[in-house]
Structure 1
Amino acid sequence: MAHGKPHEPQTYTVGELAALAGVTVRTLHHYEDTGLLKPQRTEANYRVYGPCDVERLQQIMLFRACGMKLSAIKRTLADPAFDAQRALEEQLAELRRQQTNLTTLIGTVEATLADLKGETVMTDKQRFEGMKRKAVEDNERAYGAEARKRWGDAAVDGANEKLLTMDEREWSDAEELERAIIEQLRTAMETGDAAGPEAQKLVSMHARWLQMHWADDTYAPAAHVALAEGYVADPRFTAYYDEAAGTGAAVFLRDAIAGQLS
């Protein structure tokens, strides 16, 4: 049972806290081994968890439930500027975005099933609404935190809204242009000249693709160059371009963009 006299902070053994939080003792041990949670020790070397430990465990579990990796949680909690209230407000906003996207996706699946059963006729707008919502959700999950930190909430929200308001033709055009960019990237790389005509065409196509996705009137050459630098700095983007167009593709694209727009 939990320990503590009246007016004294309540404390828990490792087993008690595990039962209270609905996790295993092994999980608490792992959090301790990784430096996420550091209980006090009794003279007999038993773990004792106080109010601060309970609060920290809740924060860890909330962040985990939101999809954060333990390494990211550790960095967040160790940051001297960490603000628990602000962090939770941001997570709440993210959960609400996910809730909206999931609700829309469920509605699309339900409407598709009803259409297949002959119960209703599904409009073209309905067919693509769920796909667009899923694209926004996937992008937020993969890159949202970094993008919001670097570009700000307004820029990211504007880009998401731009995608969600695309009609079927705009959606198809954007996907076709993305495929064409990869083909042009391969072609430009074969010339070995990041400043040549094929590279110039590549940069123009890439700029047009960004303008299709970014909020109106937000495209700027400097932002384009900064984004391209991110392609090389972030292994996820590097892998995307290198796997699609060949080793060195991300660097070549960065060099072409920087050479023309800097």
Structure 2
Amino acid sequence: MKVKEVADLVGVSVRTLHHYDDIGLLVPEETTDSGYRLYSDDSLEILQQILFFRELGFPLKKIKEIINSPSFDRKEALELHHRMLLEKRSQLDTMIGTIEKTIQHIKGEIRMTNKEKFEGFDFSHNPYEQEAREQWGDEAVDKANHKVGNLSKAEQKAIPETMNAIYKKLAPLRNGLPDSVESQAAIEEWYVLLNQMGSYSLDAFRGLGQLYVDDERFTQNIDAFGEGLAKFMRDAMAVYADKNQK
């Protein structure tokens, strides 16, 4: 199957499959002289594994390590996926029940306790934290967690709103020059905000910008404010880091 046929069958983008090939996660069975990527049934089985891991929040780097390991067993992996998805379904069922009860509560049909209003929510696991620890080390992540923990509840609540406001400020600039005065002023706000939550050197700031493009989850979230914004931020962050290096 050609890449477009696989994309249509599975429901992923051609861009995603190209990215998987570029990073060595899912290499086509062969590439023709004309440059067409061809995928076999074995390729589709590997892709299924990848997508199961992605659904469960595994980073691409970790997925590559797992499926390329000599000890990788597809059956064991499927059994793991099954257990984890059952746990996820259980949590979702609980949250659906909480929504249904809340609707009844609003209608005056039942009365919920404050504890019942939050059943099903689980903030004990940050899916990005392990990746951050692998990239920047435990000390940096622990410092960031401590820094955020010392913020007031009002300050913590304001962070997502401030992030969105900066995204919206950057979005109209994304088709211009990343080194313009306006672009650099907005990206400086981003740098200041990040350092309210953690401790980012200029090199780490530049590296984070690259991650916005390398990790499709970041790209999708950022590009929701405007297609191409992730790449623009990467370039603007690199310019900012270079200009402010002593």
What TM-score, normalized by structure 1, do the two folds share? 0.49
C-alpha distance in structure 2 between counterparts of 1:259 and 1:195, whole Å: 6
CA 1:207 to 1:34, structure 2 compared with 1: closer, same or farther past 3 Å? same
Q: Which has the higher contact order (CA 8 A, sep 6+)?
A: 2
C-alpha distance in structure 1 between counterparts of 2:112 and 2:164, whole Å: 35
CA 1:172 to 1:75, structure 2 compared with 1: closer, same or farther past 3 Å? closer
- SS at 2:168's partner residue? helix
C-alpha distance in structure 1 between counterparts of 2:113 and 2:163, whole Å: 36
Aligned residues: 170
Write out per-residue CA displacement over residues 114-134 of structure 1, whole angstroms, 9 at most, x where no aligned residue.
Answer: xxx7989x9xxxxxxxx9x82
CA 1:187 to 1:153, structure 2 compared with 1: closer, same or farther past 3 Å? same
CA 1:74 to 1:223, structure 2 compared with 1: closer, same or farther past 3 Å? closer
2:66 corresponds to which residue?
76
Q: Are 1:250 and 2:236 an aligned pair?
A: no
- 2:188–2:240: 8 Å Cα contact kept in structure 1? no
2:216 corresponds to which residue?
235
2:153 corresponds to which residue?
168
Q: Are 1:149 and 2:134 an aligned pair?
A: yes
- SS at 2:184's partner residue? helix
Q: Are 1:187 and 2:165 an aligned pair?
A: no
2:190 corresponds to which residue?
206
Matching residue's letter, 2:221: Y
CA 1:74 to 1:170, structure 2 compared with 1: closer, same or farther past 3 Å? closer
Considering only aligned residues, what root-mean-square deviation do their CA atoms show, in Å? 4.7
Shift in Å, 1:250: 0.5
Shift in Å, 1:188: 2.0
How much identity, in percent, do the aligned residues show? Answer: 29
- 2:133–2:141: 8 Å Cα contact kept in structure 1? yes
Shift in Å, 1:239: 1.0
Shift in Å, 1:219: 2.3
Larger radius of gyration: 1
1:197 corresponds to which residue?
181
CA 1:118 to 1:230, structure 2 compared with 1: closer, same or farther past 3 Å? closer
CA 1:76 to 1:251, structure 2 compared with 1: closer, same or farther past 3 Å? same
C-alpha distance in structure 2 between counterparts of 1:250 and 1:185, whole Å: 10
Matching residue's letter, 2:239: G
Write out per-residue CA displacement over residues 176-230 of structure 1, whole angstroms, 9 at most, x where no aligned residue.
Answer: 311211111123225x12111210111111111101211xxx3211110111011
Write out per-residue CA displacement over residues 41-99 of structure 1, whole angstroms, 9 at most, x where no aligned residue.
Answer: xxxxxxxxxxxxxxxxxxxxxxx8xx576x9567337547x9xxxxxxxxxxxxxxxxx
CA 1:68 to 1:168, structure 2 compared with 1: closer, same or farther past 3 Å? closer
Write out per-residue CA displacement over residues 159-181 of structure 1, whole angstroms, 9 at most, x where no aligned residue.
Answer: 22333332122113312311211
C-alpha distance in structure 1 between counterparts of 2:147 and 2:195, whole Å: 10
Shift in Å, 1:237: 0.8
What TM-score, normalized by structure 2, do the two folds share? 0.51
Q: Give the unaligned 5+ runs of structure 1.
A: 1-32, 36-63, 83-101, 103-108, 123-130
CA 1:155 to 1:79, structure 2 compared with 1: closer, same or farther past 3 Å? farther
Q: Which shows bigger deviation, 177-186 or 151-160?
A: 151-160
C-alpha distance in structure 1 between counterparts of 2:240 and 2:150, whole Å: 31
Write out per-residue CA displacement over residues 19-45 of structure 1, whole angstroms, 9 at most, x where no aligned residue.
Answer: xxxxxxxxxxxxxx969xxxxxxxxxx
